[in-house]
Amino acid sequence: MASGHFFCAIFYFACLCSASLANNPKVNFREKEKKILDQILGAGKYDARIRPSGINGTDGPAVVRVNIFVRSISKIDDVTMEYSVQLTFREQWLDERLKFDDIGGRLKYLTLTEANRVWMPDLFFSNEKEGHFHNIIMPNVYIRIFPYGSVLYSIRISLTLACPMNLKLYPLDRQVCSLRMASYGWTTADLVFLWKEGDPVQVVKNLHLPRFTLEKFLTDYCNSKTNTGEYSCLKVDLLFKREFSYYLIQIYIPCCMLVIVSWVSFWLDQGAVPARVSLGVTTLLTMATQTSGINASLPPVSYTKAIDVWTGVCLTFVFGALLEFALVNYASRSADRAADIHRENMKKKRREMEQASLDAASDLLDTDSNATFAMKPLVRHPGDPLALEKLRQCEVHMQAPKRPNCCRSWLSKFPTSPFKKVPCLGRGQCSRSKRIDVISRITFPLVFALFNLVYWSTYLFREEEDD
């Protein structure tokens, strides 16, 4: 009897539990997702080969809105004229065949990882050189289907894109690199790409490039017409500014230092031939090596770049300093030969005068002892060299005073001859080599400063015009 009551109590408790479960059923949303996917994507219900209808179910073109997120830009190569970018690419369109019941707003969207289950736009990157998807650990792609039939496709890809560059202002240039996306097979009558409203392109905040700065980016349309029809196209123009500080430290300052070092030879003695030759040749070879290293990192273009003008002029200055020493050496050797000729003439005249005095003494000894010595005439003969020298001195003193010349008075401070006891011949032939050095000390820095003024004002002004 007691056991019967016990079983009745258990039965009553089980009935109460079942009633409570019936009143509060637990919904398995994952099972609901499976049923909905089987319902909308089942065999014979959805064909991924057919494109969606147009806006409001019309027969117009399907509209696909595009949005990209630039994750990183790894490199911008000047030689191959390309750049590498990693981005998250998103497309969104409306496919009314994929509508489903959201269970009172509890089911926000369905998620797929297989892109071949639904219709996909045939978008491709027209300026792509190389690209790949990311599959670690799983393929970085998803498709979300919303209750009202909207489809969102997102994928992470890495691309190497062509970027034609104009290097006339290199390294003071700005480059525009484009990212072009177009339909491959569907014409604008069937498929149209539009940028997503609001913010179609996002760029990661901590984007850092070694030699460039991303100044801004612009979105635009680039529809193309071919023999097979007109195709929808989108593009993003990325404006990169080259960082000049790297080139200032690596190229411009070293070139200036080499040019200034080549001027040291102007302050060395004319007789220090090994020192001046070695200095000139060393700076010339170093400048040539620097130029070849710069050109090796750039493509062989048919026009002249700003860096070519700079290195060419610097190389010309270094080469000019070496030629200046050759000119100084030639002038010095010419002065030495003139001094040697002058010495020989003076020695010859001295010997003639000694011989003449010896002849006069012998004539006096041969005369009669009672004869008186002849006195030197007070008036010199016109051909007498001493008379000519006195006459020149008088003419010099009688000449009218000339107007002072600043340049000549400054250069007259350097009349030193390698042979101080030998007077210079002509118009300062002995000091000509010294004056060449003195003029070069002033001329080379002034001309180089003028070149810097013209160079920087020209290319910086052209850069502002391009902006």
Q: What is the pLDDT of residues 402-449, one digit of tens each?
A: 565 665 665 555 544 433 433 444 444 446 778 888 888 999 999 999
Q: Residue 45 to residues 39, 48, 79, 96, 121: CA-CA distances in angstroms?
A: 8, 10, 53, 13, 20
Q: Are 422 and 430 in contact (CB under 8 A)?
A: yes
**How far is 113 from 155, CA to CA, in rounded Å?**
10
**How far is 77 from 367, CA to CA, in rounded Å?**
106
pLDDT at residue 281 greater than cutoff 60: yes
Q: If you compute the radius of gyration of the chain from its CA atoms, what whole number of angstroms results?
A: 48
Cβ neighbours of residue 32 closer than 8 Å, sequence gap 6 or more: 103, 107
Tell me: the pLDDT tens digits for 331-347? 777 655 656 565 666 77
What tokens were used for 446?
């002034």
**How far is 348 from 240, CA to CA, in rounded Å?**
80
**How far is 188 from 226, CA to CA, in rounded Å?**
12
pLDDT of residue 456: 94
Q: Are 416 and 434 in contact (CB under 8 A)?
A: yes
pLDDT at residue 22 greater than cutoff 50: no
Q: Give one DSSP letter per residue of 158-173, joined into a string.
A: EEEEE-----TTTTS-
**How far is 284 from 258, CA to CA, in rounded Å?**
8
Q: Are 100 and 38 in contact (CB under 8 A)?
A: no
Can you tell me whether residue 287 is helix, strand or coil?
helix
**How far is 133 from 11, CA to CA, in rounded Å?**
61
Q: Which of 121-125, 174-178, 383-387, 428-432 shows the lowest mean pLDDT across its residues?
A: 383-387
Question: In the predicted model, what is the mean pLDDT of residues 122-149?
Answer: 92
Tell me: the pLDDT tens digits for 73-97? 988 999 999 999 999 999 999 999 9
**Which amino acid is residue 292, in one-letter code?**
S
* Other CB atoms within 10 Å distance of the CB of residue 217: 17
Per the prediction, the chain carries an average pLDDT of: 80
Q: Are 299 and 359 in contact (CB under 8 A)?
A: no
Which DSSP symbol is given to 424?
A: P
Q: Are 264 and 272 in contact (CB under 8 A)?
A: no
Question: In the predicted model, what is the mean pLDDT of residues 310-339?
Answer: 83
Q: Are 81 and 95 in contact (CB under 8 A)?
A: no
Q: Are 64 and 194 in contact (CB under 8 A)?
A: yes
Find residue 69's DSSP bridge partners.
88, 202
Question: In the predicted model, what is the mean pLDDT of residues 388-409?
Answer: 54
**How far is 310 from 448, CA to CA, in rounded Å?**
11
Q: Closest by alpha carbon to 241, among 179, 173, 298?
A: 173
Its pTM stands at 0.70
Q: Give one DSSP letter per residue of 366-389, joined into a string.
A: HS-TTSPPPPPPSS--TT-HHHHH
Can you tell me whether residue 140 is helix, strand or coil?
coil
Q: Residue 239 to residues 79, 387, 440: CA-CA distances in angstroms?
A: 18, 87, 45
**How far is 298 from 251, CA to CA, in rounded Å?**
14
Indicate the pairing of strand 201-203 with strand 62-77.
Answer: parallel
Find residue 230's DSSP bridge partners.
225
**How far is 265 from 282, CA to CA, in rounded Å?**
12
